[in-house]
Every structure is written in C-alpha cells, then in structure tokens.
Amino acid sequence: MAESKQKKFIGRSVPRLEDRPLLTGRGRFAADVNFPGQWAMRVVRSPIAHGRLNGIDASVALAMPGVHAVWTFADVAHIPPIPFRLTGLKALEPYQQRVLASDTVRYVGEPVAVVFADNAYLAEDAAEIVELDIEPLAPVMNATDAPGPFDTMQSTEPDIIRKGYGDVDAAFKAADFVVTLELSVGRHSGVPLETRGAIGYYNEALDRLEMHGAAKVPHWNRDTMGRMLGRSRDNFQLFEGHVGGGFGIRGEIYPEDVIVCAAALHFRKPIKWIEDRREHLISANHSRQQTHRVRAAIDAEGRILAIDNEFFHDNGAYMRTHAATVPDLAAAMLPGPYRIPAYRATAHLRLTNKTPCGTYRAPGRYESTFVRERLLDAIAANVGIDKVEVRKRNLLSKSAMPYTLGLETLGTHIVYDSGDYGLLLDKALERAGWPKLQKDMAKRRANGEMVGAGVAMFVEKSGLGPFDDVRVEVKNDGNIELITGAASVGQGIETAMAQICAETLGVDYTSVNVIHGQTDRIGRGLGAFASRVTVMTGEATKRASTRLRTHVLKLAAELMQADAGELDIVDGEIVHIGGVPGPSMKLADLAKARPGELIAEDTFESTHMVYPYGVHVAAVRVDAETGGITIEKYVMAYDVGKAVNPMLVEGQIAGGLAQGIGGALFEEFLYDESGEPLSVTFADYLMPTAHEVPESSILITEDAPSPLNSLGLKGAGEGGTTPVGAVLASAIDDALQRPGAILTLPVTPQRLRAICKK
Amino acid sequence: MTDKATITLTINGKDYAIAVEPRRTLADAIREDCGQTGTHIGCEHGVCGACTVIVDDAPVRSCLMFAVQAEGKNIRTVEGLANGDTLHPMQQAFMDNHGLQCGFCTPGFLMLAVGVLEREPNISDEDLIDVLSSNLCRCTGYQNIIKSVRAAAQEMRK
Ligand code: FES
Ligand code: FES
C-alpha cells in the first residue's frame, strides 16, 4: 500500500488556535459575562481567625437603596457541606465546609454572610456595614503542635495516613549510618492572575439553572452542586469560558459557587460574583505547608536501605474538595526515582485556623521531592561522595521498568510505566556542562564569590483515569467539531487536541474546533487536573478520530465507487491513495451528502497513571549582605514520552519553573499569632517577575514512551515546578559550602541572611 | 451614595458618553460602562498591570486612575491594536513566540510594551526587562514574553 500523504501535526510546534481572541481583547473570562438585570454579590468574611459567631446585624445594610437581600447561615441551612472530590476519608467528613459559617468561624476570610445589590460598588458598601458579633477563641496556628480540640468536639488531627512496605525497623538496625533531617515547605498557592468568579443564571423558560465561569471539572461540579441544590443533570448546566490560569486551585467547588447558584434560583435574578485580590489571597485554596521529620538508613557506600518519614500537613480550617489528596500524594511519591528497599510514611493531617487548602501544581511532589532530594544531598555529605554519585548509586535502572512501587495513591497502584532515569541524568548534566560548571564554581569560590550548583531528580505522574470521552463530527462546512468533557485552564488543549485529531483524520489542524467545558454538549467528562488532558483526552481523541476516518472512508467509498482501502483523506479531501488519479471529494461535500452521519465517538479508559520524570540543574550566586539569590543557570530535562506540540510543552515547563521559583524563594502566606493573615496584597505576597525568572534551557526527551497509550504520551504540566525547591536548596548549600544549611522553603532574603550570619 | 458625573471617554478613537460616580475607576468604566472587556483586572491595587491601557501615549494602570480623570484624554485599549484582521506586530509576535498561555495578563503586557516602544523605540534590553518586570504573568515564566517583545521591537522599528 502506498504511503499516505497526510500531513503530520503530532510533534510539531504549530501556533496555538487559542491565541487570536485572547490577543485582540475578545476573550470571555468570568468577569466579562453579564446578564441583563443582574445583581452583584459580595461576601462578608470573618475578620477573626477563630471565634463564636453570636449574631449578624444587617439591618443598616438592608436599608440602603439598591440593596436587595443579605443571606446568612439560616438562608442556606438546607444546603449540605461541600463534599470531597478526591481522596475522601470517612474521618474527615465532619471537617467539610458549609457555604456560610453557622455558629463558629475558623479562619479570617470565612464567608459568614452575602449581600445582594444592584452593582458591585453598592454591594461592597453594604457588606462593609454588616455587623458581626464574634467572640474570639484561641486560634491554633501550628500543625506541629500536639493534637488537641479544634472547636467544641473535633480534634485538630482528624486522621493519620500510613503507607509503606518492607521491614523498615530491620533496615535501620542493619544500617551503617542513619541520616536524620527536619524539613519544611511554606504555605503558598496557585494565585492565578484572574481572580475567581461565578455567575448564576436561571433560565425560566427552560427551567434551567446555569453557572458561568466554571473551570477545571465542570461535569463533576454540575453533578455535585446539582445534588446539593436539588437539581438534576437536565436542568442544571455549567459553562466554562476563558480561564485565567488554573494551577490546581481554580474550579474546585467553593462556597461562593454554590451560593450564586442557590441565589439565582431563589431570586430568579442573575447573580454575579467576582472576587477581589484580597479575598482571593485569604479565601481561595492555599497549599503545600508541611513539616517532615525524615530518616534514612544507609550502608557505608551511601546506598539507601530504608526511609522513614513522619510529616505534618497543615490543611487550614476545613477539609475542602481534595480532602487528603496532598498528604496522600506526598507520602506515596516520596520514593521518586530511587530504589528504596523499605519505606514508611506517617502523614498527620492537621487543622489550623488558616485558610483551607487544596492542590497546587505538583501537589505532594513539590514537597516530597524537596524532602527526598535534601535527604540524598545529606547522604552524600555523610558518606563523602558527590551529589551526582549518590544519585547514580541509588537510581532505579531501566531494566527495572515497569516498576511496581508497592504503594497506592488516588485509588491506583503506583507502577512506573517506563523510564531510563540514568540516561536522562547524563543528558541533563551534559546540557548543563556539569564538569566545567563545577570547575568554574570552585575557582570563583576560591576568589571569594558565593556560588554553587545543585541537581535534583524526580518522578511525576499524570494521565489519571478512569476515562475520557470524545465526539468528533464533520460539519457541513467541512470543519471538524471535537467535543470533550475536558477543560481548559490556558494550557493549550484546544491546539493539542486539534493536532491529534487533524493528523489522525487527515485535515488541517486549524479546521478543528475544540469544544470543552460545556456540560450541555457532552454527557460526562472529567475535566483538567493532574496533567491528565493530553494523555486521557488525547488518546480518546485519537480513537474517536480513527473511528471517524474509517466511517468517512466507508461512506465515501460508496459514493466514489471505490474500495475504502484505496482511499485516503488528505487536507480535508478524500482522494485515492498515493496520488493515484481519479475522482476526489471534499469532506464538506460528503457531509452535505450524508447530513448528520459523519460523526464518531470513542472512549479511553485507563486504570493506571503514567509517570514522566525529570532532572533539574541550577547554578546560583548568593549575596550574603542582602540575602538575595541570583540564578545564573537553569537546565530542565523532562521525558514526556511524546510531545504533541513541543512549543507548548516548553511553555508549560518554563511557566512551571517560575511558580517553582516563587515557592522556593519568595511566596509565602504568613499569619500573625492571632491568625491575622499578613499576605493580603500583591505587595506582600511576592510573586516572581521578569527579573527573577532566569532564562532557562529546556531539554524535552522522548526516550521512554508510555506503553499505556498508543502515542506514548505522558503529561507535561507539572515537571517545571516539582523539583525547583529541591534544586535551589542544593545549589544554595553548595554556594555557602554548608551541606544541609537550607531546611526551610521559601529561602527568603531574611531567612538566608540569618543563615549566613550563623 | 455619591452623585454621578457625566463624562465622555474617548477609547480607540470612539466617544462614550457615560455617567459615573467620581470614585469609579477607569478600569471599571472602560469594562462596564463602555463594554470594552479586553482590559483586565487582576489586583485593583496597581501591582499586577493586567489593567494597563495607554492614556495620551503613556501606559497607565487603569485601576489606579478614576474615570473622571481620563475625560478629554485619548485612551487606547487592546481592542484598538489590530488593524481589521491584521494583528499589530506586538500581537503577532506574541502569537509567534508563544508569549501567552491563559491570556489573562496579555492585554496588559501588550499595551505596556506598545506604549513603551512607541516612546522609546531603541530601548536597551536591560531597560526593556525592567519595564516588563512591572507586570505580572503567572503562566508563561516571562521568557517568551520577553522574546515576543524583542521580536516586535525589531518589527516596529522597520
Ligand atoms: S488590576 Fe491594575 S495593576 Fe492590577
Ligand atoms: S498568560 Fe496567564 S497570566 Fe500571563
């Protein structure tokens, strides 16, 4: 059979389909959605971290012209608490959040009432004069304090997660050395540039309740909020527009989402809520904050015999949709790319009077990679070998793949599907010019400069199942409509899906119109999280497109009086294979001839995740006077199995790096001892700017395609972020020539100056 | 509540007669009273730069200016950058260099960069990075934004 002349799109850095509306101001973000006659909603939030809510007086606010209503707990008492989406544990259920506080408040920023008014300015004026009678109680601010009562009945420690395998105690007995560290990661989060927003709209004619401004997991949120509000799939729909950055935190069900829907239904008025930045910083999910007490048993050569890790996860005041996801992932993914014969993790879930937590890009891996890689550096220092050598001695070999770790997370067994960790380490070190870098640094140090280099390795995970559906159709104009239950958070999924569909089907990728995030267009879908879309939706797209191609060729064969096996689709035109002369037919004409028939649907199911892996290398200069850190060199190597669009993959990795640097050096939600948040504006929550993010070198490899899907895909969304804290800590240690100096992230200038003075 | 003032805002060459309270920000007026939602609001306290528009040839943060202060001035927003279907060189460069992901910060960056390059076409690289560091982007890690602006600067000098 002759070669198909179809164009290749998979693996090419084609420009994004998403860009034009975003570049011309025609994006449609949540705040851009308006309905005639809408009311604005403003949330009245607790100014006190822990207290008894004795009363709310809204009479003055209610008397203001243009103010329509003020809701308190009594108005929403019939709405159950917000349930878990992932990793729900029975013991955590009493800690779920109600949409408005009832009799106690547990963090500054907790919604206690909502005001509905003609416009946002008025609503804000009114919210300011709603009077709260709150009797303060002592706040719990440290997750490492001994567990005690949280409020009247509950404990500050609702549960402990234990994971492990092998005989840890025996390994510690047999060890030549034991290395012990206490490490902590600060509280920071996604902080997308677009704040949250939700617009509830009740369409009376259709008896349909709608929520606009959905993101991430629209189908799950529709079903769940539907249950909370007594609506069914047929009369409640969610709509996603443009989304100004997700990073894990956006699109989980928050109290405000539920209230706008309930209010739209109750008042029969469109209800619009747009969060301001202060609200975002105190009320959207925080993440990361953990303290680890970790020990490694090693032999005389620095080989790991066992790791025992006990850690404390500060989850803030309530268990939100993710429940135990972050500590669970931290516990399960701590072993990373190394052979660890025995392992034990004990994760204490702790409640404090701070903003509740959820996931943030590389959840549990940013933290556990910091811990594991600090441990590897400490082992190297302990036995007197260098940091590359200690990693080589402990790495899992290529022949060990697929590797069953013996741990579970997110409901699946961890089985590293494929990988050649040693090869990637070599490639990364080569790209970084490691031997020369070492020499240069040593010379500069001899001249009094504080410079140093670090290396960190990690295993990521992606492609969480269990399924994804895709429907593709050739429309009458010859364009392709691809409908998926995935969601977009700005990562370029429309383009990536269009590329897979276009190449498979035989059309140009610009003719593929990808529709996502609309619950009324496809029955089920799992949305966008955990770097799952390219893998799950990508494979489903490939399957649906293959099915459509077969179907199209069969229909065309009848009309063209040819054998389907002799036909090909090239650039949207059905032709004879290999350019054999003969009649041809445009897809559009076939679609017109067989209206509504050029359609196919398929599903991809998977019970296992896939495991991309990476290596970061960094070189830094420390200024002991200011405590400032300059990143002089940054190399990221990441094996993604197969890059559908390398430009987008690089974009993800570069963007991830900036967020990793934020968490490593700048970003932290701080509180005073009364529980008052201190990071409430962008002037005190410091995110990296173009100054702080260095030019980086990105090496994408495809050495270990995943055997679990036909394209070999592994997700690429998180590997730019995962090891950044670890590698910068390693490089700073080296610059200071003090192994183990960095035990806490972020390494803010204040912290670093204090370390330098010691 | 405060009384409303009747003013006329000139945005991308078009006049909008609107009635606003004196405390209304220019950002809100542009977005809500004039319907030009391409200008975004990320912080409302002057740090993120998402709301950047060009007022009388200078990039300004429209969340820090009151609408009444902009009366009689020439306001340019992202909607006015392209010439029909032809993108402005800055927009084209952002597309070619993958200078945006979610696109929320993008209008602010475009207006900032265009405003600065129009005044100072030969700006040094160091100064350019200085200027760009005044806006925040949470998605791209900035390198592609810098690349885009450099490419557009060359194009705009032609
Ligand atoms: S919204 Fe104006 S600077 Fe952030
Ligand atoms: S592209 Fe998302 S904030 Fe810049």
Tens of pLDDT, residue by residue over A512-532, are 999 998 998 888 888 777 678
pLDDT for residue B3: 85
Q: Is the residue at A302 inside a domain? A: yes
Check: CB of residue A361 under 8 Å from CB of residue A185. Answer: no
pLDDT for residue A1: 37
Instruction: Specify the number of domains making up chain A.
Output: 3
- Please identify, among A605, A621, A640, the residue that sits at the C-terminal boundary of a domain: A605
Chain A interface, best mutation among B1, B39, B83, B139, by max A CB count within 10 A: B139
A635 with A706, same domain: the answer is yes
Distance B27 CA to ligand 2 centre (A): 19
- CB of A689 less than 8 A from some CB of B: yes
Check: CB of residue A568 under 8 Å from CB of residue A560. Answer: no
- Say if residue A425's pLDDT is above 90: yes
pLDDT for residue A531: 73
Contacts of B130 in chain A (CB under 8 A): 691
Q: Is the residue at A150 inside a domain? A: no
Cite the beta strand spans of A326-397 per DSSP E. 342-350
Share of chain A above pLDDT 90, in %: 89
Residue with the two structure tokens 């897809």: A587
pLDDT for residue A2: 41
A591 with A629, same domain: the answer is no
- Please identify, among A605, A621, A636, the residue that sits at the C-terminal boundary of a domain: A605
pLDDT for residue A757: 87
Contact B47 A682 (CB under 8 A): yes
Check: CB of residue A416 under 8 Å from CB of residue A459. Answer: yes
- CB of B113 less than 8 A from some CB of A: no
- CB of A534 less than 8 A from some CB of B: no
Contact B137 A193 (CB under 8 A): yes
Cite the beta strand spans of A190-330 per DSSP E. 197-203, 208-212, 236-239, 271-274, 290-298, 304-314
pLDDT digits (tens, 9 = 90+) for A638-666: 999 999 999 999 999 999 999 999 999 99
Check: CB of residue A67 under 8 Å from CB of residue A117. Answer: yes
- To test ligand 2's pocket by mutation, which of B52, B91, B102 has the most ligand atoms within 8 angstroms of CB? B102
Give me the amino acid identity at A82: I
The token pair at A188 is 């920071």
Give the span between the Cα atoms of B80 and B38, in whole angstroms.
10
pLDDT for residue A6: 64
A318 with A458, same domain: the answer is yes
A378 with A488, same domain: the answer is no
- Say if residue B30's pLDDT is above 80: yes
CATH at A101: 3.90.1170.50
Question: Looking at chain A from residue 197 to 226, which residues have their Cβ under 8 Å from any Cβ of chain B?
Answer: none
A428 with A573, same domain: the answer is no
Q: Is the residue at A718 inside a domain? A: yes
The CB-side HSE value for A95 (13 A sphere, CA atoms) comes to 31
A224 with A312, same domain: the answer is no
**Position with higher pLDDT, A151 vs B117:** B117
Give the span between the Cα atoms of A248 and A362, in whole angstroms.
9
Give me the amino acid identity at A571: D
CA distances from A364 to A309, A369, A742, A748 (A): 14, 8, 19, 21
* A238 CA: distance to closest CA in chain B (Å): 20
B18 lines ligand 1 (CB under 6 A): no
A583 with A717, same domain: the answer is no
A294 with A221, same domain: the answer is no
Q: Which residue of B has its CA nearest to A123?
A: B1
pLDDT mean over A674-703: 96
A547 with A622, same domain: the answer is no
The token pair at A151 is 């409020």
Residue range(s) defining the domain that contains residue A211:
33-139+195-243+250-283
What does chain B come to in residues? 158
DSSP reduced 3-state for A697: strand
* A417 CA: distance to closest CA in chain B (Å): 29
The token pair at A723 is 């090891």
User: Which secondary-structure segment (H or E) carries A161?
Assistant: strand A159-165
- Roughly what angle, to the nearest 10 degrees, separates helices A325-333 and A365-383? 30
Q: Based on C-alpha coordinates, what's the Rg of chain A?
A: 27
A193 lines ligand 2 (CB under 6 A): yes
Question: Looking at chain B from residue 38 to 67, which residues have their Cβ under 8 Å from any Cβ of chain A?
Answer: 38-45, 47-48, 50
- Give one word for B56, left, alpha or beta, with left for phi > 0 and alpha for psi -120 to 50: left
Q: Is the residue at A148 inside a domain? A: no
A212 with A78, same domain: the answer is yes
CATH at A455: 3.30.365.10
Give me the amino acid identity at A621: R
Question: Looking at chain A from residue 433 to 472, which residues have their Cβ under 8 Å from any Cβ of chain B?
Answer: none
Residue-wise burial string across A467-495, b where 16 or more C-beta atoms lie within 10 A, e elsewhere: ebbbbbbbbeebbbebbbbbbbbbbbbbb
Assess whether the previous peptide bond of A218 is cis (omega < 30° from 0).
no
Q: Is the residue at A272 inside a domain? A: yes
- Say if residue B8's pLDDT is above 80: yes
Model-level pTM? Answer: 0.96
Q: Which residues of A are catalytic?
A: 718
The token pair at A146 is 């001994």
A451 with A483, same domain: the answer is no
Contacts of A491 in chain B (CB under 8 A): 101-102
pLDDT for residue A539: 93
**Residue ranges of domains in chain B, CATH in brackets:** 5-77 (3.10.20.30), 89-157 (1.10.150.120)
Q: Is the residue at A695 inside a domain? A: yes
Contact A25 B31 (CB under 8 A): no
CA distances from B14 to A132, A234, B11, B94, B110 (A): 47, 44, 5, 26, 20
B44 lines ligand 1 (CB under 6 A): yes
* A309 CA: distance to closest CA in chain B (Å): 33
- Please identify, among A585, A605, A625, the residue that sits at the C-terminal boundary of a domain: A605
- CB of A497 less than 8 A from some CB of B: no
A500 with A364, same domain: the answer is no
* B72 CA: distance to closest CA in chain A (Å): 23
Q: Is the residue at A687 inside a domain? A: yes
Contact B48 A193 (CB under 8 A): yes
Q: Is the residue at A662 inside a domain? A: yes
Least confident of A371-385, A556-570, B87-101: A556-570
pLDDT digits (tens, 9 = 90+) for A79-117: 999 999 998 888 999 999 999 999 999 999 999 999 999
- CB of A538 less than 8 A from some CB of B: no
Distance B39 CA to ligand 1 centre (A): 10
